Amino acid sequence: MTSVTFLDLRMTYLEISDELDAACRRVLDSGRYLLGPELAAFEADFAAYVQAAACVAVGSGYDALVLALRAIGIRPGDEVVVPANTYVATWLAVSAVGAVPIPVEPDESFGIDPSRIEDAITPRTRALLPVHLYGQPVDLDSIYGLAAQYGLRVVEDAAQAHGASYRGRRVGSSPDAVAWSFYPSKNLGAFGDGGAVTTNDERVADTVRVLRNYGSRVKDFNEERGVNSRLDELQAAMLRVKLRQLDEWNDRRHRIASFYRSECATIMDLRLPALLPATRHAWHLFVIRTMERDALRDHLYRCGIETSVHYPIPPYRQEAYSDLRIPAGAFRLTDQLHEQVLSLPMGPHMSLEDAARVTDALRSFSVGNSHNGP
């Protein structure tokens, strides 16, 4: 049986290999490999794409989060509100600056529930860190409303949301800081690690720019205890090529997602994350929810369909966070999602025939299973 891979990363090279090869040769031949013209050009291109005043590219999405938090002044002992249901990197970035992640349960979109944030705010809270999970923007009006009301700053984790928009504006042009990852499988992925901070606050941009290069603005003078986190020229040059594909590749994701959504609506026992109004989804992941996740995953595997789970263990239950002493079961909605979510194959190089193979297999499980029902 033909198999359907979860994401065909090799095709993200092959489709545009001539342009990528040319970009690499240009860099290799230039003799400039770090902090050169490709980086500056990519930063300008990406800032223009998200309509932000500035973009500072760094070594990874995690570094983008950490440096954004440092740039807005988060300090040891501060509290930062995070989603309980997210990738652990969101939490680890908060911990890296010595702050404490304060988790909030998800809503029907599976992203952070803005209506529960107020209960998590204490006198020590300094920032909100929402995640545009799976590629769907969170309700930014609510987030920034709360931030204004309580005097908090906001860092958005947009690692899964390249090209998504909220009220007709692309994610990335917010007042404080938006953190991006260019991990290879992301909608805009490098061929290695990469990340960026976009912002409309020139001071945030300036601080991240200094921090990413050992805290040095002028060679041999270190004004901050910075780090080494620079997006190299090769990755920047390739990301410039890939940025030109982003909208077209996101459109292809939309076609797969529309097909999945209409088919899944007719399959019993499947639930889908709610679509929020006024948002354009980037469809980084297509996630379904079912009580029989593990059995369904085995069935799809036997049908030659590769799936994934984002994520099997919530951050608050990770050993790395045992010192927070959050009792197991404290985040019931998050626990349920981690037991029930399944990510279907999704990507710009997937055909509608492949998507139909996936939904046929979902249907055959549903039918086979109903015989065992009560």
Q: Half-sphere exposure (CA, 13 Å, Cβ side) for 229?
A: 27
Contacts of 138 (CB under 8 A, 6+ apart): 109, 111, 112, 114, 130, 131, 132, 156, 276
State which residue, 89 or 337, has the beta carbon closest to ligand PLP: 89
Cα separation, 52 vs 201, in Å, equals 9
253: its two tokens = 């994701």
Q: How far is the CB of 63 from ligand PLP (least distance, A)?
A: 7
Residues that bind ligand PLP (CB under 6 A): 60-62, 86-87, 89-90, 131, 157, 159-160, 181, 183, 193, 195
Q: How far is the CB of 149 from ligand PLP (least distance, A)?
A: 26
Cα separation, 92 vs 280, in Å, equals 28
Q: How far is the CB of 156 from ligand PLP (least distance, A)?
A: 10
> What is the three-class DSSP state of 113?
coil
Q: Are 173 and 52 in contact (CB under 8 A)?
A: yes
State which residue, 195 or 226, has the beta carbon closest to ligand PLP: 195
Q: How far is the CB of 131 from ligand PLP (least distance, A)?
A: 5
> What is the three-class DSSP state of 373?
coil
Cα separation, 200 vs 129, in Å, equals 17
State which residue, 55 or 361, has the beta carbon closest to ligand PLP: 55
Q: Are 178 and 199 in contact (CB under 8 A)?
A: yes
Q: How far is the CB of 86 from ligand PLP (least distance, A)?
A: 6
Task: Name the closest residue to ligand PLP (Cβ).
Answer: 61
Q: How far is the CB of 232 from ligand PLP (least distance, A)?
A: 14
State which residue, 91 or 365, has the beta carbon closest to ligand PLP: 91
Q: How far is the CB of 263 from ligand PLP (least distance, A)?
A: 26
**Left if phi > 0, otherwise alpha if psi is -120 to 50, otherwise beta: which for 348?**
alpha
State which residue, 189 or 345, has the beta carbon closest to ligand PLP: 189
State which residue, 161 or 361, has the beta carbon closest to ligand PLP: 161
State which residue, 50 or 362, has the beta carbon closest to ligand PLP: 50
